[in-house]
Amino acid sequence: MPELDLKKVVRTWLESCKRKGQISRNTVAVGIVVLDHLRKKCPLTRGDVFSETGSEVKGARSGLHAILREYGIPETFLKEATTRQASHDAERLLDRLEFGKTLGRTESETRDRALKAAIEVLRNRAYDWLKRQNLKISCDRQFSPSVWVHSILREAEGRSGGRVEQHLVGAKLQKRHPHKSVPNYPGHAGDLQTGRQADFDVDKISYHVTATPSRAVIQKCKTNAESNRHPVLVVPREKVPNARVLAEDEGIGNRLTILGLEDFMAANVIEISVEQGTDFFATLREIIEEYNRRVEEVETDLALKIELQ
């Protein structure tokens, strides 16, 4: 397969993997892993690439950082590419490449040069992602703190996946309770992975944070209530009515506190400012500094960091 054709195959494959108009890091990373497999052995069998269950691509978990480093991509790009979508995307790429059957008939140096060129296409995608700028938020000092928070959520829309919301609440809770240790989890970490009952447990309160309230999170709140904990669900203000309907439908409407994230944050900015004798913007800046620290601690997507202007 000529070099230019192989690059074209990878570009076409990337376009076919778009979801909601975006190409995920998992797709880019798993593509590099697949092409790296083909550099080492060509053609491939399914057993060379996929785990016994077929749910994971070999090298996409513990070996991912070593593979990315080989092609000059820093570890901050992605921890592991083990989503179900990544496995499906890998199989689609291998199908397009016939698992390397045609490539295997080409001269080894020509094949390796073509594979390196195809990997370069994905490497450039990775660097485009790594060069993304932080969330820049302009805060008019005459506006209320709730308007500032709403500006953050609006700017993060399409990039957050709920992570901005989660880390904002975590930072706010840590600032409000400086002598307590508020847990910090990456946005993709599931409850079963961490053994947690909520995003944040502080004393007898279980906080759940989500950008899109669902029946599943309401059921988690119900479990908290049944365990004699008070569940608090924090969602963007516009999602509060939907969350209340779901809570009533699950029979937990009277046992659950539902708060709009903008108002939840703003109330604490005001309270802390009064207690410390500082202005609202200075308090918000302190919360954002904690937010950025938490993002740096657990996330690979450092473009989620916020710059206040």
Mapped to the 3 state alphabet, what secondary structure does the chain carry? CCHHHHHHHHHHHHHHCCECCECCHHHHHHHHHHHHHHHHCCCCCHHHHECCCCCCECCCCCCHHHHHHHCCCCHHHCCCCCCHHHHHHHHHHHHHCHHHCCHHHCCHHHHHHHHHHHHHHHHHHHHHHHCCCCEEECCCCCCCHHHHHHHHHHHHCCCCCCHHHHHHHHHHHHHHCCCCCCCCCCCCCCHHHHCCCCCEEECCEEEEECCCCCHHHHHHHHHHHHCCCEEEEEECHHHHHHHHHHHHHCCCCCCCEEEEHHHHHHHHHHHHHHHHCCCHHHHHHHHHHHHHHHHHHHCCCHHHCEEEC
Does residue 141 surpass a pLDDT of 50? yes
Which tens digits make up the pLDDT trace of 83-107? 888 899 999 999 999 999 999 888 9
**Domain covering 135-308 assigned CATH 1.10.287 in the classification:** no
pTM: 0.68
Domain boundaries, the chain: 3-130, 135-308
Region 244-262 average pLDDT: 95
Higher pLDDT among residues 138 and 132, named by residue? 138
For residues 290-299, give the mean pLDDT: 92
| Residue 188: predicted pLDDT | 62
Give the model confidence (pLDDT) of 29-59 as tens digits: 999 999 999 999 999 999 999 988 877 899 9
Over 50: is that where the pLDDT of 191 sits?
no
- The mean predicted confidence, pLDDT, of the chain is 89
Report residue 194's pLDDT band, with 50, 70 and 90 as the boundaries. Answer: very low
pLDDT of residue 61: 87
